[in-house]
């Protein structure tokens, strides 16, 4: 579970643990937060361990997978959730801002996916769930680097699903819309998010638990004949044209 110390990642870790999974809570810099998640899971009767590592670095991603196996006895599910945003208009965006977002969001997904392939292929079983975004399928001002990284994840999900199916490995993605996390806090600064919620058919943000339960569904046996799927959890945002009604 990469990026599992807060937000959607924390919720996925907790729901997975409640369903009986032993969870490795990966973090890059938030060790204290990751330990809080581990303690909450353990207090609820589950098994968990905090595993450090910057997934944008391939060797650290490999080490995190090895540590997970050592601490928890194996690995059967990978949730690629780690992500950052550095929003800016393309005209104002620095090349570093572009590459940093790609390295973490898409690079981390590639690095961790490659790192779990040996154990998954040898046991001929595994589930990979990539946390993408509806931004990867649609456009939004100031989100070009973030949206491009998520679009790459969507394409990567489909290709991996095709490549890995013969080994019993399933690869799917969850595409959240707007949820109240630190990642989208800047989008809600202006009016508390009212300008966004009025564009959502359900007129509300997603709860992080709603996104988490979709991810856990894709990780579990109830989705056993699903691979290469991109499931949106967006309150209907991507179902409409424009803002969904005449101006």
Q: What CA–CA distance (Å, rounded) separates 112 from 3? A: 12
Is the full-model pTM beyond 0.75? yes
Query: How would you classify the pairing of strands 169-176 and 23-27?
Result: unpaired
Calculate the CA 46 to chain-centre distance. Answer: 22
- Give me the domains of the chain, ranges plus CATH numbers: 7-236 (3.40.50.720)
Query: Is 146 annotated as catalytic?
Result: yes
| Catalytic annotation, pick one of 106, 110, 120, 146 | 146
Q: Are 15 and 48 in contact (CB under 8 A)?
A: no
**What mean pLDDT, rounded, does the chain reach?**
94
pLDDT digits (tens, 9 = 90+) for 199-217: 899 999 999 999 999 999 9
Q: How confident is the model at residue 183 (pLDDT cuts 50, 70, 90)?
A: low
| Residues 142-173: tens digit of each pLDDT | 999 999 999 999 999 999 999 999 999 999 99
């Amino acid at each position: 579970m990469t990026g599992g110390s807060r937000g959607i990642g924390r919720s996925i870790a907790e729901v997975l643990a409640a369903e009986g999974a032993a969870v490795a809570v990966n973090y890059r810099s938030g060790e204290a937060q990751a330990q809080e998640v581990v303690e909450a899971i353990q207090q609820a009767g589950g098994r968990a361990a905090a595993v450090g590592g910057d997934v944008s670095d391939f060797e650290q991603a490999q080490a995190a997978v090895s540590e997970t196996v050592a601490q928890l006895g194996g690995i059967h599910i990978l949730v690629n959730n780690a992500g950052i945003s550095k929003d800016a208009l393309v005209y104002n965006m620095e090349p570093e801002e572009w590459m940093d977002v790609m390295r973490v969001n898409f690079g981390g997904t590639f690095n961790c996916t490659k790192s779990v392939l040996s154990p998954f292929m040898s046991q001929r079983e595994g589930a990979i769930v990539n946390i993408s975004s509806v931004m990867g399928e649609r456009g939004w001002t100031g989100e070009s680097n973030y949206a491009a990284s998520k679009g790459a994840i969507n394409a990567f999900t489909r290709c991996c699903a095709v490549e890995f199916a013969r080994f019993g490995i399933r690869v799917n993605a969850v595409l959240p819309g707007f949820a109240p996390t630190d990642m989208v806090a800047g989008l809600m600064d202006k009016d508390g998010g009212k300008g966004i919620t009025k564009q959502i058919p359900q007129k509300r943000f997603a709860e992080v638990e709603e996104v988490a339960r979709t991810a856990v569904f894709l990780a579990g046996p109830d989705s056993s004949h699903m691979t290469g799927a991109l499931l949106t959890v967006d309150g209907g945002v991507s179902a409409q044209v424009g803002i969904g009604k005449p101006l």
